[in-house]
Amino acid sequence: MITFDHVTKRYPDGTVALDDFTLDCATGEITVFVGTSGGGKTTALRTINRMVDPTSGRVLIDGQDVRDKSPAELRRGIGYVIQQVGLFPHRTIRDNIATVPYLLGWDKKKARETAMELMARVGLPTSMAKRYPFQLSGGQQQRVGVARALAADPPVMLMDEPFSAVDPVVRAELQQEFLRLQAELHKTIVFVTHDVDEAIRLGDHIAVFRTGGTLVQHATPAELLARPADDFVASFIGRDRGIRLLSFHNADGIELHDAAVVAGSADRSAARAALAGVSGEPWLLVVDDARRPIGWLSQDALDSVPETAELRDAGLLPIGNTFTVGVDPLRSALDSSVLSPSGRAVGVDADGAVLGIATQADLATAIRTVAAGDLHPHPLDRAPDEPAEPAGDA
Amino acid sequence: MEWQWLPGHLDDLAAATVQHLQLSLLPVLLGLIISLPLGIVSVRWRWTYPPIFGVANLLYAVPSIALFVFMSQYVTGLSVASAIIPLALFTLSVLVPNVVDGLKQVPDPVRQAATAVGFGTLRRLMQVELPIAVPVIVAGVRVATVASISLGSVAGIMGLGGLGQLFQDGQQRDIPSEVFAGIVLTIVLAFVCDLILVVVQRALTPWTRARKGAAA
């Protein structure tokens, strides 16, 4: 655990970069520092590896004051990744990654083997080992940056806007792989970003900073979306807070119906029979032999289907997106509903076989349940105009 | 021009060339040894750069002949040292700024990353900053080398050895081909030394070459 204990950083000119900052960053979790520029998030990050020494207060790693070790020794035990990557241009990719092992005096062969393993781990072809940084793309360079930080297997990683300088497609890719890596490695990570979406996507906990170096809120992403501490946090999080919150609730609670699901090999009369079984249902979902969805068929269109034709040939409307029950969040179910010509969401299992259909009324019920639990936990205890309680340190 | 002087004096030409190499290249080596710490100090403590560079530059303003005469008359006598010491001082005006520029153009994120992974100051200098400064430093060494080979002739005219002797001797005894041989040898020497430095730099800094195509 990384502990900030009343840490303040004041510069000689009087600027306060960090103001009485107290926080615990849990072991094995990603804590994201997010906020406006000048909010002190990078300063806070740098007090951990003593790139910045606080004016007052202490920073502890697992209870030990970071000042107990020499800066160089401390830093060799802490991975560090920055936005501009900062690879050593005169060293090959392999030697860049092996930097810390070399500094720690590892055997050269072992250091290089470790570097090669890490290249594979961060998704770089090992054929690049002897290339130089300038021969790599921005995304590849940042993978090397991450590998270099991981080389000596430090328990703590500091990442300062590591994915901000690459294009959105590469960024999404790097973020995804970063989460995959973290699921294997369980490092204690402090991650600085100005991008609140990135914070919500990556963080186990998020600390929001405001200009002047003050911590405004420390919460899980879902808590942050549901109950921002104040207007600053709410406006910082931005639009569609409610919709984004649905990403943090699974879609398992949605009621699914499968009466209007018919096989592609069935004919018109079978379809009519299915529709008769569900009163008021104007849409049929046609599936293949493995129950994977093929398309939608409306009741009106059914009349023009030839008597003997199979339904699969009946000019079906496309499905759009489905959602995987037990995996995808409520937001995916909502997305599926919005994109569907029938306005209904299709729930599938891991193999893509249809489990059932949810109407918008079913989704609304599930969303109301979330809102009741998260947003308005005690609606009866509170007057309507009373603001939500700020979430404290969680 | 009378060419028959040349075949009989190849030994003299070779000896003069070797001596010229010594009196012009040793100063560059000495100059580099002095410039590296001066440059490092200038970058580490910025306020020291103006006085350091100022002195190095002023030294260059001293006429070379005056310095050679002064050294051979009053300090080191009629020896190569009287050529080497002034020439070494002259290289500083090129080498010090190049060491400084070389170190300054190390990208800040690289320096920051080096610090953050746990390089100490000295280790960072030796293993990160100086290697990255090599291309700029070598560029300075190339200029200093060619200048030193050229100025070295002046030392020879003052009787301190090297190819410059050929000019003096050729003029006094009216042997134009000897003067001509001196000029050609000086140029060839400068060219060859420069070429060697280019090759050395390419060997030292494979990472500066744009060889994306070759490596892909």
A310-357 pLDDT tens trace: 888 888 898 888 999 988 999 999 999 999 888 899 999 999 999 999
Identify the pLDDT of residue A351: 92
According to the per-residue pLDDT averaged within each range, which of A383-387, A389-393, B94-98, B178-182 is highest?
Answer: B94-98
Dist. CA A357–CA A128, nearest whole Å: 49
Q: Quick check: B110 contacting A, CB < 8 Å?
A: yes
Q: A72, B124 in Cβ contact below 8 A?
A: no
- What ipTM does the predicted assembly reach? 0.82
Identify the pLDDT of residue A266: 85
Which residues have CB under 8 Å from B135's CB, separation 6+?
B102, B201, B205, B208
Dist. CA B96–CA A250, nearest whole Å: 66
Identify the pLDDT of residue A375: 67
The residue to which tokens 């963080």 are assigned: A203
Residue A89 lies in a domain: yes
Identify the pLDDT of residue A382: 41
Fold designation for B5-206: MetI-like fold (1.10.3720)
How many structural domains comprise chain A? Answer: 2
Which residues of chain B have a CB within 8 Å of the CB of A75? 115-118
Q: Quick check: A53 contacting B, CB < 8 Å?
A: no
C-alpha dist (Å) from residue A89 to B24, B111, B198: 33, 11, 20
One domain, residues A240 and A310: no
Number of neighbouring beta carbons within 10 Å of residue B48: 13
Q: Cβ of A88 and B116 within 8 Å?
A: no
Q: Assign 3-class secondary structure to A116-145.
A: HHHHHHCCCCHHHCCCCHHHCCHHHHHHHH
Show the beta-strand stretches assigned E in A200-248. Answer: 205-210, 214-219
Chain A residue closest to B107 (CA)?
A86
Q: Cβ of A91 and B119 within 8 Å?
A: no
Which residues have CB under 8 Å from B171's CB, separation 6+?
B179
Dist. CA A52–CA A54, nearest whole Å: 6
Identify the pLDDT of residue A4: 96
The domain in which residue A82 lies consists of 2-248
Evaluate if residue A279 carries a pLDDT over 50: yes
One domain, residues A265 and A169: no
Residue A357 lies in a domain: yes
One domain, residues A218 and A105: yes
Residue type, B14: A
One domain, residues A233 and A264: no
Q: What is the pLDDT of residues B117-133, one digit of tens each?
A: 999 999 999 999 999 99
Which residues of chain A have a CB within 8 Å of the CB of B113? 80, 82, 85-88
Least confident stretch, A200-204, A386-390, B175-179? A386-390
Greater confidence (A323 vs A371) lies with A323
Evaluate if residue B159 carries a pLDDT over 90: no
Dist. CA A377–CA A375, nearest whole Å: 6
One domain, residues A320 and A340: yes
One domain, residues A87 and A200: yes
Least confident stretch, A125-134, A198-207, A309-318, B181-190? A309-318
Greater confidence (A314 vs A289) lies with A289
Evaluate if residue A390 carries a pLDDT over 70: no
Identify the pLDDT of residue B88: 92
pLDDT band at B80 (very low <50, low <70, confident <90, very high): confident
One domain, residues A121 and A239: yes
State the best of B103, B106, B117, B119 to mutate against chain A, taking most chain A CBs within 10 Å.
B117
Identify the pLDDT of residue B210: 53
Identify the pLDDT of residue B162: 83
Distance of CA B210 to the CA centre of its chain: 27
Identify the pLDDT of residue A308: 81
Mean pLDDT for B146-166 is: 84
CATH number at residue A290: 3.10.580.10
Mean pLDDT for A19-32 is: 95
Evaluate if residue A388 carries a pLDDT over 60: no
Identify the pLDDT of residue A131: 94
- Looking at A203, A220, A248, which one is the last position of a domain? A248
The residue to which tokens 């979902």 are assigned: A285
Identify the pLDDT of residue B25: 93
Greater confidence (B167 vs B198) lies with B198
One domain, residues A213 and A137: yes
Q: What does the DSSP 8-state code read for residue A317?
A: B
Dist. CA B123–CA B100, nearest whole Å: 18
* Residue A145: both structure tokens together: 């940056």
Q: What is the pLDDT of residues B102-119, one digit of tens each?
A: 999 999 999 999 999 999
Evaluate if residue B215 carries a pLDDT over 60: no
Q: Quick check: B128 contacting A, CB < 8 Å?
A: yes
Q: Quick check: A135 contacting B, CB < 8 Å?
A: yes
Q: Quick check: A62 contacting B, CB < 8 Å?
A: no
One domain, residues A68 and A96: yes
**pLDDT over 70 for what percent of chain B?**
96
- Residue from A160, A89, A93, A152 nearest A124 by CA: A93
Q: What is the pLDDT of residues A173-189, one digit of tens each?
A: 999 999 999 999 999 99
